[in-house]
Chains A and B, each alone.
Chain A
C-alpha cells in the first residue's frame, strides 16, 4: 500500500459544496495538485477562488500550483465528531501556504487538517507539508503533516 492511499477520515465527512468559481480548485485537488487562484494582472493569490481579485478587481486568473509546503498558523484539537465514524480528537488547522517559486505576490492560507501528529506536537509556526487523502475518484482532500 503506498502512502498516497492512506486514509485518516471516513467518507461520511461532509462532502465539498462547490460553485462555479471553487470547482476548478477542487478539480485540481482530485489530481493531487494544491493550487491558489492567481490574478494575472497583479499576482494576488487567493483561496477560495472568486470571480474578482479583491486587490485590483481584475477578473483574469490562473490556477497556480503551489509546492505543498507551509507553516501551521493556528489550530484546534476538536473533540466533537463531525462524522459518526471518525477518530477523536481531530485537528482543524489553518495552514500558511508557501507560494515561493510562483509569480504569486503573497502567501495564502487554507483551512485544513493536521494528520499523523500527536496533540503534544502541535505548535504554531512549525513547518508542514501536504499529504493527499483520496476520498473517491472525484474528491481528494489536502491534509498536512509536520515535515
Chain B
C-alpha cells in the first residue's frame, strides 16, 4: 500500500496571552502537545520515530526524543530561519520522511513560552536596560555578526527595523499605493477572523468581539498596520502527527474520520529574496508589493493538479492582515491588486463566503503558534471537527508566513 503522507492526529496545550505560562517550561509544554496529538491519532508515543520543527526552535528534536523516551529517533529535522515561514515546510519535511521510508510516524511540533525568554522584537528593551546599567554608555560601535542572519539584520537594525509589523508594512504600503487598497480592507479581515475565534473555545480572544469601528480606532503600530492588524504573541504548544496512507486509513477508520492526505507541499523563496522585506530592500520591483509566494503557489497547484476554485476552506498565515490579502492574490484566489474587492465580497467568512478562511481565528485571534495551529485547523476542517465547520469541505490550503521564505501544503479528505 501507499506511503503517501497523511495527517492523523492533532493536539495542543492551552493557549494563553504572552508570558502567562510560567509554571511549566517550553519543552515540557511541547511534550503535552505531542502526547495529545499522538493520542488523538490513536497511536502511542512509542510509535513516534520522527520529529520535525522550524523557526530556530529552542527545543531540539534530539532532546525532545530523549525526554519522551522514543524507542529510536529515525528522523529529526528543522527548517532554516526564524519566524513562521517554515511551518508548512516542517510538515513537508515530515511528509518526505514518511514517504521515503526514513520514518513511520513523524510529529511536527511548536512550543512557545515567550515570557520565559527574550523575544527578538524586545531586544531593544534589553539593550536599553543594559545601557542604562552602565554609568557611562560606551560610544556607538560595531559588533560582529556571527551568522548570515545577523549580518543581514545588522544592516537594518540601526535604522530601527526590528519588528515584523514594520517589515511587512513596507510591502503593503506599496500595495496601497499601486492598487488603492485601504485600512478598511484590512479591518474586514481582522473582524472576520475574530468572528470565527468567537466560536472557538481554544481561542485566546474567544470572548472579545471586534467591530470594524474598533479596528479603525485602534492605535497605530507601524503604519498602515493598527493594533488589530497584528497577530498576538502567545504561550502554548501544538503538534501534528504524520504517517503513511497505509497506517492513516486504519487510524482514520478507528476514529470515524476521513483520511486527510497531504496532497502536495512546497517551500522556498523567489530569486534574491533572502529574509524578505525584513532585511531586503532590493526585492524585485515586480514582486515587492506581494507576499512573495506566487511562484511557489503556482508550483503547488501544478504538483497537486488542482486550482484555487477547488479549495473549500483555507488557513492563511496571518501575522498581519496585509499579508493575508497579498497571499490571497499570490495564490490566485483573485487577481493581483483585487484583494481589497475580494475581501469586500465577504469571501473569507464561514457564513456564506466563497473561501472560508482561518476558521479557528488564526494568529490574529486564536493563537500565535508561528502558524502550526493553522495546520491543525486545516486537518480539523476536513474531519468536520472545526468549531466553524464548512459543510462537505474536501480540500484545504494551508500557508505559512509570507514576506519571508515561505511554504504551503494542500490537504484533501479522501
Interface residues of A (CB under 8 A from B): 9, 11-19, 21-23, 26, 46-48, 54, 73-86, 89-90, 92, 94-95, 108-113, 119, 124, 135-139, 141, 143
**Most B CB atoms within 10 A — which of A73, A75, A94?**
A94
Q: How far does the alpha carbon of A139 sit from the alpha carbon of B177 in the complex, in Å? A: 34
Q: Are A141 and B223 in contact (CB under 8 A)?
A: no
Interface residues of B (CB under 8 A from A): 123-125, 127-128, 131-132, 137, 139-145, 150-163, 165-166, 169-171, 173-174, 177, 219-225, 272, 279, 281-282, 288
From B125, B152, B157, B281, A109 is in contact (CB under 8 Å) with: B281
Q: Given A17-B151, A92-B161, A124-B174, 7 more contacts at CB 8 Å?
A: A11-B139, A12-B127, A19-B151, A22-B155, A89-B223, A94-B170, A139-B158
From B125, B137, B140, B222, A138 is in contact (CB under 8 Å) with: B140
Q: Are B158 and A15 in contact (CB under 8 A)?
A: yes
Tell me how far the C-beta of B283 lies from the nearest C-beta in chain A, rounded to whole angstroms.
9
From A76, A108, A138, B170 is in contact (CB under 8 Å) with: A76
Q: Are B140 and A74 in contact (CB under 8 A)?
A: no
B159: which A residues are within 8 A, CB to CB? 92, 111-113, 141, 143
B123: which A residues are within 8 A, CB to CB? 14
From A9, A54, A86, A110, B272 is in contact (CB under 8 Å) with: A54
B128: which A residues are within 8 A, CB to CB? 12, 83-85
B140: which A residues are within 8 A, CB to CB? 11, 15, 135-136, 138-139
Q: Are A92 and B152 in contact (CB under 8 A)?
A: no
A81: which B residues are within 8 A, CB to CB? 124
Tell me how far the C-beta of B67 lies from the nearest C-beta in chain A, rounded to whole angstroms.
34
Tell me how far the C-beta of B142 lies from the nearest C-beta in chain A, rounded to whole angstroms.
5
B282: which A residues are within 8 A, CB to CB? 46-47, 108-109
Q: Considering the complex, give the chain B residue whose CB is closest to the CB of A55.
A: B272
Q: Are B160 and A26 in contact (CB under 8 A)?
A: no
Q: Are B139 and A136 in contact (CB under 8 A)?
A: yes
A22: which B residues are within 8 A, CB to CB? 145, 151, 154-155
A46: which B residues are within 8 A, CB to CB? 282
Q: Are B160 and A15 in contact (CB under 8 A)?
A: no
